């Protein structure tokens, strides 16, 4: 019985680690793609001066930071729920 509970907990923790790696990779790829697409769409089409370029770069950076925070909160919530479910299964068994 204890071995089964430990196996369930180990599997849940492995799932958390695997999903963490996948979400980090996905976020980085998406952030880079969106930042480059926005930069090419806004700065590449029109000739921009230094002030506009700084505003665009600041906006792109802010979007990446806020997007990262949003993804992090979602990830923490999802993984916390998974761990709590594993603990609940262990306590029932």
Summarize pLDDT for 21-64 with one digit per residue, the tens.
Answer: 887 788 778 877 877 777 777 766 667 777 877 887 788 788 77
Instruction: Using a pLDDT cut of 70, give the percent of the chain over it.
Output: 89
Locus of tokens 């594993």: 86
pLDDT computed for residue 45 by the predictor: 65
Tell me which long-range contacts 4-13 makes (C-beta under 8 A, separation of at least 24).
4/93, 5/89, 5/90, 5/93, 8/86, 8/89, 8/90, 8/93, 9/86, 9/87, 9/90, 11/86, 12/82, 12/83, 12/85, 12/86, 13/83, 13/86
pLDDT computed for residue 61 by the predictor: 81
Average pLDDT estimate for 4-24: 78
Tally of structural domains, the chain? 1
Range of the domain at 29: 2-92
pLDDT computed for residue 1 by the predictor: 55
What is the reported pTM? 0.53
């Amino acid at each position: 019985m204890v071995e089964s509970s430990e196996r369930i907990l180990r599997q849940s923790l492995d799932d958390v680690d695997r999903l963490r790696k996948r979400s980090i990779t996905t976020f980085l790829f998406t952030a880079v793609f969106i930042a480059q697409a926005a930069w090419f769409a806004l700065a590449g089409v029109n000739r921009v001066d230094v002030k506009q370029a700084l505003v665009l770069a600041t906006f792109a950076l802010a979007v990446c930071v806020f997007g990262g925070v949003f993804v992090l909160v979602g990830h923490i919530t999802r993984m916390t729920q998974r761990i709590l479910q594993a603990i609940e299964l262990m306590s029932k068994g």
